[in-house]
Amino acid sequence: MHTPTVLRRITLVAIATVVVGTFASPAHGETRLRNICRLKGQEENVLRGLGLVVGLNGTGEANDLPTMQAIARAMELLGSPVGSNGLIDPTAVDELKKIKNASLVLVTASVPATGARRGEKLDCTVSAWTGKSLVGGQLAFAALQGPNLRDRQVYALCSGSVNVEDSEVPTVGRVHNGCQMEQDIYTPFYLERDGVKWITLVLDSHHASFHTAADVAGTIASNYTGYYSPDALRVEARPDDEENFVRAIDATNIEVRIPDSYEANPVSFAYEILELTISEEDPEARVVINNRTKTVVISGDVRIGDVVVVTDQVVIEAGLAADFTALDDSESANPSLERLVQQLNTLKVSRQEVIDIIQRINKAGKLHGKLIVE
């Protein structure tokens, strides 16, 4: 005998006892600028170049011109050229094609935001362009250029044993400390214009907004106005002039002039600026869903509009209580998504179904917040 499915009903109305806690004034904390922004110029850079992995157990492949050229170049450097003027001797082509223990690879290395100095060693990543596996291979050589692709200068040389970390992806590996810097890479944190030094604060993507940029500029202005002479400020006479000592350029960038008293020590000024604190703004109303891990992260005040959702096991009615009376004019009858998720969890609704319900509400245009699906 078939047992009928019992539908469980969730009615989400903004009941007074719930609203009291939900609409309490949010507590505003403080954070240091270094937690939400960085200095322009302090970015990670990627060096890249082609290399040759040898010592493979029959999993390499030289049956293409770039790999044969790499092998020929290696043999030339070791005193056994197989051609001239960068060209492979046609009679050697058939022999090179038979090589199965070598693979042409792309080699990359990340230079930290603070830069790197000659002689310093970094890890590098090796990705095969030819061949089936890099297991057991040895990176014979690679000359890394960049990060600007038009910059042909060699910044680092790479070699060493290739460690394949994921057996399911045998064509990618790492060489620990296999990249040795041959040139210094500096990451200057200030820019000089007409004899005046400037730093630029760059808000990270999760905090970038006009509101935050204006708050940062205002905080710096209130703390450092006394460090500048009236001739350097010109704030009242020419508010849009580039000689203002601090200004928010857009929602991400804030320019700050280094005072004359810090000209010989800009590092101290940058340190002090990054240690300043500002009030944290209300978090953006957003929902982040990770379909792989089946997790839901809710930040800010995410609300649900008038909507009814019916699934095989649950009926959800949100914001449909006609007899609701708000506690004051500033309150909304729209229930929170957090409250819905809590009730679904109480009913032991699966995480996948919770995710499906949230996406259906969003598709209906009733999710008052940004939905991000990873």
Question: For residues 206 and 144, which has the higher predicted lDDT (pLDDT)?
Answer: 144
Place 93 in a pLDDT band, splitting at 50, 70 and 90. Answer: low
Distance of alpha carbon 105 from alpha carbon 70, whole angstroms? 10
Average pLDDT, stretch 290-299?
88
Distance of alpha carbon 215 from alpha carbon 298, whole angstroms? 25
Q: What is the DSSP string of 77-92?
A: HTT--SEETTEE-HHH
Report the percent of the chain where pLDDT is more than 90: 30
Place 263 in a pLDDT band, splitting at 50, 70 and 90. Answer: confident
Average pLDDT, stretch 164-192?
92
Helix axes 351-363, 337-346, angle to 10 degrees: 150
Structural domains in the chain, sorted by start: 8-26+283-373 (no CATH), 35-39+189-279 (3.30.70), 45-61+100-181 (no CATH)
Say which range, 24-38, 108-122, 180-194, 326-340, has the weakest mean pLDDT.
326-340
pLDDT at 349 over 60: yes
Question: For residues 253 and 263, which has the higher predicted lDDT (pLDDT)?
Answer: 253
User: Please, where are the H alpha helices in the chain?
Assistant: 16-22, 65-77, 90-97, 210-224, 230-233, 266-275, 337-346, 351-363
Q: Which residues of 134-164 are buried (b: 16+ CB within 10 A; e: fewer)?
A: beebebbbbbbbbbeeeeeeebbbbbbebeb
pLDDT at 22 over 50: no
Radius of gyration (Cα) for the chain, nearest Å? 30
pLDDT at 98 over 70: no
Which pLDDT belongs to residue 95? 54
Which pLDDT belongs to residue 34? 92
DSSP letter (8 states) at residue 283: P
pLDDT at 233 over 60: no
Residues in the chain: 374
At 207, phi and psi to the nearest 5?
Answer: -120, -5
Tell me the pLDDT of the chain averaged across its residues.
78
The CA angle 321-327-329, to the nearest 5 degrees, is 95
